[in-house]
A and B are shown apart, each in its own frame.
Chain A
Amino acid sequence: MAEQRSLVNSVCRADVLSPTCHEAEPIVKGEPASGREQETGRTLSEPSILKIAAFGSKGDSPTRSHVTRPEVPKDVATYRAFRRLCDNIVKELGRIGAFLIKDKVSDEGAEVVAEIEALLEELYTCPHGQGESLKRVVVAVQSQVNNTVWDRRHIEFLRDLFFFLRVRYLVDEAAVDTCYDFMKARGLDPFRGTICEPRVTKRYRIEEVLEHDKSSGTIS
Chain B
Amino acid sequence: MAGSSPFQVHRILATIRFIQGYRYLDRCGEALVKLENVLTEGWLPTEPSPKAGGMKNDQLGMTASFNSEGMTTSQAEFISFEHFIDQTCKVFDTLWQTFEIKRISSPTILVVFQKGFKDDELEEAAQYLISLRLCVPHTGLIGLMEGMAHALDFVLLTTEDMEWNEERVHRRRRMQSQVIRQERQPPFDERLLRRSRQLASKQRDAIAALMKLRRKHPEVSPVAAQLDLEHSFETELSAEVFDLPSFLQQGWEWAESVRGGIARLEGETS
A interface, CB within 8 angstroms of B:
1-6, 25-30, 44-45, 47-55, 57-67, 69-70, 72-73, 75-76, 79, 83, 130, 163-164, 166-170, 172, 174
Q: What is the distance, in angstroms, from A22's C-beta to the closest C-beta of chain B?
A: 11
Which of these binds chain A: B134-142, B193-201, B212-220, B261-269?
B212-220
Q: Which 5 residue pairs are nearest across A and B when measured between Cβ atoms?
A: A59-B185, A54-B54, A64-B78, A169-B89, A54-B65
Q: What is the distance, in angstroms, from A100's C-beta to the closest C-beta of chain B?
A: 21
Q: What is the distance, in angstroms, from B208's C-beta to the closest C-beta of chain A?
A: 14
Q: Choose one: A47, A58, A72; the contact of B228 (CB below 8 Å).
A: A47
Q: Is B2 positioned at the interface, with any CB of A under 8 Å from its CB? A: no
Complex contact A52–B93 (CB within 8 A)? no
A6 to B152, CA, bound (A): 16
A45 to B155, CA, bound (A): 7
Q: Given A50-B69, A58-B185, answer yes or no on A1-B61 (Cβ-Cβ < 8 Å).
A: yes
Q: Choose one: A49, A54, A168; the contact of B63 (CB below 8 Å).
A: A54
Q: Is B168 positioned at the interface, with any CB of A under 8 Å from its CB? A: no
Complex contact A62–B15 (CB within 8 A)? no
Residues of A within 8 A of B226 (CB): 25
Complex contact B59–A3 (CB within 8 A)? no
Q: What is the distance, in angstroms, from A180's C-beta to the closest C-beta of chain B?
A: 15
Complex contact A64–B245 (CB within 8 A)? no
Complex contact B186–A55 (CB within 8 A)? no
B interface, CB within 8 angstroms of A:
11, 13, 15, 17, 38, 40, 46, 51-54, 56, 58-61, 63, 65-67, 69-72, 76-78, 80, 82-83, 85-87, 89-90, 92-94, 97, 106, 108, 110, 122, 126, 150-153, 155, 157, 172, 174, 176, 178-189, 210, 213-214, 216, 218-220, 223, 226, 228, 230, 232, 234, 240-246
Q: Given A29-B150, A63-B218, A167-B241, answer yes or no on A50-B174 (Cβ-Cβ < 8 Å).
A: no
Q: Given A60-B188, A64-B213, answer yes or no on A29-B65 (Cβ-Cβ < 8 Å).
A: no
Complex contact A28–B69 (CB within 8 A)? no
Q: Given A49-B15, A52-B66, answer yes or no on A64-B52 (Cβ-Cβ < 8 Å).
A: no
Residues of A within 8 A of B214 (CB): 62
Q: What is the distance, in angstroms, from B52's C-beta to the closest C-beta of chain A?
A: 4
A67 to B217, CA, bound (A): 11
Residue of B whose beta carbon sits closest to that of A43:
B155
Complex contact A29–B179 (CB within 8 A)? yes
Q: Choose one: A30, A51, A64; the contact of B151 (CB below 8 Å).
A: A30
Complex contact B86–A53 (CB within 8 A)? no
Residue of A whose beta carbon sits closest to that of B65:
A54
A49 to B187, CA, bound (A): 23
A166 to B246, CA, bound (A): 11
A53 to B172, CA, bound (A): 25
Q: Given A52-B66, A61-B58, answer yes or no on A44-B72 (Cβ-Cβ < 8 Å).
A: no
Complex contact A60–B83 (CB within 8 A)? no
